A and B are shown apart, each in its own frame.
Chain A
Amino acid sequence: MEKAHNSFNKNGHIPTSPRNIPPPAVSNDDASDNHLHHYTADEANRISEDVDRFISVISAIDDKSSSSLPEVPDFIKTYSEIIESRITRSRKNVAGDDDDELFFIESVRRISRLTNALSEFSSDARVTPPLNQTSVALQRAMVFLEEEFRSLLEDSTSEWDPQNAQNIQKFSSFNSKSQQEYSDRCAAQREIDTAHSSSVEYPAYSPEDVDKMHEIATTMISAGYETECCQVYYISRRNAIRNQMNKLELEVLLNMDDVVRMPWETLEAEIARWINVVKTCSETIFPGEKRLGEWVFNDHPEIRRSLISNILRAVVIQLLDFAEATSMAKRSADKLFRYLDMYDALQKLIGSISGESYSDELTAEVTAAVDRIGESAVCIFCDLENSIKSDAAKVPVPGGAVHPLTRYMMNYLKYTCEYKDTLESIFAKHTEPDKKYTPPPPPTTTTTASLSSNDLERESDSPHNFETVASTTPFSMQVVMVMDLLDANLEQKSRLYKDPSLRCVFLMNNGRYILQKVKGSPEIRQVMGDIWCRRRSTVVRQYHKNYQRETWNRVLQCLSHDGLLVNGKANKPLLKERFKIFTNTFDEIHRTQSAWMVSDEQLQSELRISVSAVVIPAYRSFVGRFRQYLDSGKQADKYIKYQPEDIETLIEGLFEGSITSMARRKT
């Protein structure tokens, strides 16, 4: 269908003939819209070209006073109508193809340019009616684009539905403080790390939609509708993040007041959940938001930066509030690991927001929160000093076994050292660099004196002489200090034992346990170093020697051959007495020391072997030598209760830690 329209020549002369178009044909699919019609693509293109020419003509005019403006052609009105009709059609959900959409965007940009160009001449009364018309068309177009923009942003199919949600669920269930689960946790974390790195895109918009958003944003901004555009984007994205979190059950909506008074068991579960949220944010949501913002606002870095930082800010502040509240809660040793997890999570979060200097202020906020958590962690760890110092028991552990304190502390240190890198950085930051390490007074002096100080090599008094430690970072110094305090405390506890042998067994047991723990954990071993381990072995061996001397020297004394043979003749009463003493002493040692506890199998067998090695040859030779002097038969049986083989068997029963087993054996 032919449609007349005005044309104007390139000289800027614009014909003033009124539009003499026949009423436009009404298309079937738009029958109700009787004052607008569809222009064919050709017509529309021709008008577009005319408009472009007109814009360039009037833009080229330097003098913006009214006199220099040519007549405003009627096709301006027509063009406005084309746009309005297109919007009306879209509103009725008449789907256009991509070309149509492209044409529409082009048209909106054109009418925006036209409006701007015309408004330069706004002092001319002739301009105002067409300007009014283009402004209406522009406004309608903008409202339409705004709605398009919003519906693209809120497209429900774009919601991110990760296949690895299961992994996340699984991870969130790790909130128990049992030791096994701590190591499981690490494994689960690695699993999630790999799952996340597999390309799960967030937010899941199709490239076409993102392109469309980009086109719309660019058009709106260039038409001066930046505020509308940013508002739609900001609110949509903020609410989308909220929905996303809800969907993953990661919403953190806790009042600080509640967090501060929460029992630790509940809080620990919340922390695990929170760490998930922070991880999801820093690995998926924030990078996704940044990517989306960069695509959509590609041409406007300033707008993009402020939008993204505002969107992230709202989420981050909320996450930080929880962290702040947590660090306010009462501190205790078992919270350390959770704090360290939070510290690590926040460090990663900083990485995900700081990138393009989106917001220095926000980064500063996170850094401040990280510091607070770090301080809490340092305080908790340093508080161990006081806790160990004040751990004073009144009752010795039965059988000289490993003290629960030793077990607790060594397991604690083991897990602590698994966070070595984190703690190194926290300690480097939060402890004064000039804080000098002052070793506590040598704790072993008393025992050493009560035993035989000459036998203890001086250098191994304390295995912790500072030079023996591998590294001298503030953190490792703190670990060494804790070790020293533990030693001092155990030394103190050993004094609860009246029996010096048992005291040795206690120290040996605990020393051995500490050594095994250090050797078994590469992280602590790294902190303490090989020299420390060697010295610690020496100390334990020394306790072993001391034990042997304390217990078995007197046994060996009664097996001494001295004074039993006078001129080749046996002193029978003395001999009988010796056998009796031996049997009694041995019985007594056996009775008490079978109840003693050496749970380390290797140490247990080492002890038995060393006892056997000393006692059995001496006894065998004693019996072999003097048995003949007793009247054979009855007398020998009476005084020699045990054959050397029996002694060997009985020694095998030492350090079982069981009174009943000994009783059974005796009967």
Chain B
Amino acid sequence: MPATDHNQGSFLNRISIRRSQFAAVDHIHDQEVVDLDLFQRHVSDRFSLLLSPSTTTTTTDSHETHQTHPPPPKIISISWLRNLLDAFLCCEAEFKTVLVSGRDPAQFSRPPLDRLVPDLLERSVKALDVCNAVTHGVDVIQHWHKLASIAVTSLRQNPVGEGQVRRAKKALTTLLTLMVSDDNKENNANTTTTNNAHATKWADRTRSFSRRGAAITTAAANNKERPSGKNFRSLSWSVSKSWSAAKQIQTMSANLVAPRGAESTGLAQPVYIMNTLIVFIMWALVAAIPCQERNGLPTHFQNIPRNLGWAQPLIGLQEKIGEEWKKKEKKGTAGLLEELKEMEKVANSLLEFADGFEFPMEEEKAAAMAVKVAEMGEICRRMEEGLGPLNQQIREVFHRIVKSRAEVLDVLDHIQVCKHSAPLPY
């Protein structure tokens, strides 16, 4: 993790350098400079915590100190995503204060804000569609979670008989096939060629399920192109068929240029930070959670310039998620989300147990299976506890973006009213 190492040393230095700079700053712009600087520092702090949660103790941020979560959540796990969204919401609130509070509204009609603010607003509307797609993705995961929990309930019974094993097997095959077909469906929406290796891998796996004899998977494999096969039901995506999460991210990150020259010290900087954060958060959500059409996602978020201090943790996270994505592509697994990765793995081994099951079960095997069942139970527990709140948080992000947009627009409208009001169309 080169990014982490790089980050830790320079991070504290940077703060001290900045601090020493304050003294020299002209007092008139003092407050603004302090605000801008604090904002950058807080962004950096919050995302450093997400990159390497072990540094929790050194943070000075009062918001974080009262949180004493024992083991830091694994990266791209449900709890980690929740922390990510929390961090985003905090940064967003602070940004709004920096941008709007106490500012002469007239400044919004002058460069650079006259150009930057509308650009930001437009980008944030695009984020709303991503929020919706991700919300639907979480719904899909909820459905998968239910299937996994059927297997857990069934295999936890004592003794495990053929009936229980068949029940679990049915749930698990459905689960694994859905993980395949839902993920494939998203990709098939637009292209089938770009990700050929990936798709073939899925097809193989689907076929291997059917060899195991479960009638249901045969149906599924035959109906792979048609997700509404006889015994197979999954939720239809709640976005229009042509919509692509990857393309949306691509459009969002287009024209995202770091301020240069004189602009880089002024208000252009926090606006750029906010833009970057929005794109980053949406990108990370889409990567973690199944969404319609995610082909080529990692390349769609352009690199953040490495010379920006506050961006170091973000760059680190970007690299990590990018690596995980590559692994996913290679293995053809369902998601980056930690819980999904684990779920898929455990589901496969449980399915192996089920295939080799003979009544009565040998104690040794039973014990080994019980371990796996417990693992699956733990994953289910985490999903049970985390998915609902995660969905609410995504909704909160959605509402926050809507609200902030309205607030900024109100300020802009106010300027407009002073100048000229909308003419009446008579």
* B161 CB within 8 Å of chain A: yes
A142 near B167: Cβ-Cβ < 8 Å: yes
Contact B163 A138 (CB under 8 A): yes
The answer to whether the Cβ of B312 comes within 8 Å of any Cβ in the partner chain is: no
CB distance from A522 to the nearest CB of B (A): 24
Given the complex of chains A and B, what is the CA–CA distance between A366 and B238 in angstroms? Answer: 18
Cβ proximity bits B125-146 to A, threshold 8 Å, 1 near / 0 not: 1101100100100010001001
Please determine whether B424 and A333 come into contact, CB atoms closer than 8 angstroms.
yes
User: Does A137 contact B163, Cβ atoms closer than 8 Å?
Assistant: yes
Within A462-484, which residues are at the interface with B (CB < 8 Å)?
A: none
Given A136-B161, A137-B163, A253-B240, are A332 and B359 neighbors across the interface (CB < 8 Å)? no
Centre residue among A325, A387, A408 by max chain B CB count within 10 A: A387
**Nearest CB in chain A to that of B163: its residue:** A135
Residues of B at the A interface (CB closer than 8 Å) are 125-126, 128-129, 132, 135, 139, 143, 146-147, 149-150, 153, 157-159, 161-164, 166-167, 170-171, 228, 231, 233-236, 238-240, 243, 248, 359-360, 392, 395, 399, 402, 405-406, 417, 420-426
What's the minimum C-beta distance from B365 to chain A, rounded to whole angstroms?
Answer: 15
| Minimum CB distance partner of A255 in chain B | B129
Q: Given A137-B163, A389-B421, do A257 and B125 touch, yes or no (CB 8 Å)?
A: yes
Q: Which residues of A contact B406 (CB under 8 A)?
A: 328, 372
Contact assessment for A324 and B402 in the assembled complex, using a CB-CB cutoff below 8 Å: yes
- Beta-carbon contacts under 8 Å, A393-414 to B: 404-405, 407-409
Contact of B146 (CB < 8 Å), options: A231, A253, A365, A404: A231
Q: With contacts A139-B163, A387-B424 known, what are 8 further pairs, Cβ within 8 A?
A: A134-B163, A136-B162, A224-B153, A256-B125, A260-B125, A321-B132, A325-B125, A407-B426
- B158 vs chain A, min Cβ distance (A): 5
Q: Which residues of chain B come closer than 8 Å to A32, judged between CB atoms? A: none
A345 to B426, CA, bound (A): 28
A179 to B153, CA, bound (A): 63
A169 within 8 A of B: no
- Whether A255 contacts B239 in the complex (CB less than 8 A), given A136-B166, A138-B163, comes out as yes
Q: Which of A236-262 contact B (CB under 8 A)?
A: 236, 238-239, 242, 253-257, 260
Whole-angstrom CA separation of A133 from B132 in the bound complex: 47
Q: Which of chain A's residues has its CB closest to B421's CB?
A: A386
**Interface residues of A: mostly helix, strand, loop or mixed?**
helix
Docked-complex contact B129 and A318, CB < 8 angstroms: no
Interface size class of A (residues with CB under 8 A): 35 or more
* CB-based contact A132/B129 at 8 Å: no
In angstroms, Cα B240 to Cα A317, docked, is: 15
Which residues in B have their C-beta under 8 angstroms from that of A368? 399
Cα A124 to Cα B262 with chains together (Å): 82
Q: Are B126 and A231 interface neighbours, CB within 8 A? A: no
Chain A interface (Cβ < 8 Å from any Cβ of B): 115, 119, 122, 128-129, 131-140, 142-143, 147, 150, 224, 227-228, 230-232, 235-236, 238-239, 242, 253-257, 260, 314, 317-318, 321, 324-325, 328, 331-334, 361, 365, 368, 372, 383-384, 386-391, 404-405, 407-409
Are A333 and B422 interface neighbours, CB within 8 A?
yes
Contact A119 B149 (CB under 8 A): no
Q: Is the CB of B235 within 8 A of A383?
A: no
> Which of B125, B231, B239 touches A328 (beta carbons < 8 Å)?
B125
**Pairs A-B, 10 closest by C-beta atoms:** A135-B163, A408-B426, A132-B161, A386-B421, A139-B163, A135-B161, A253-B240, A404-B426, A235-B233, A136-B163
| Contact A132:B238 (CB < 8 A) given known A328-B402, A334-B425 | no
Residues from chain A with a CB closer than 8 A to the CB of B132 are 256, 317-318, 321
Contact A256 B128 (CB under 8 A): yes
Given A328-B406, A407-B426: A318 touches B238 (CB 8 Å cut-off): yes
- Which single residue of chain A is at the shortest CB-CB distance from B424? A387
A132 near B426 with CB under 8 A, answer: no
Considering the chains assembled together, what is the distance between the CA atoms of A260 and B122 in angstroms?
9
Asked whether A383 lies within 8 Å of B422 as measured between CB atoms, the reply is yes
Q: A408 CA to B426 CA in the complex, in Å?
A: 6
Q: In the complex, which residues of chain B have a beta carbon less than 8 angstroms from the beta carbon of A405?
A: 424, 426
Closest CB of chain B to A640's CB: distance in Å?
Answer: 48
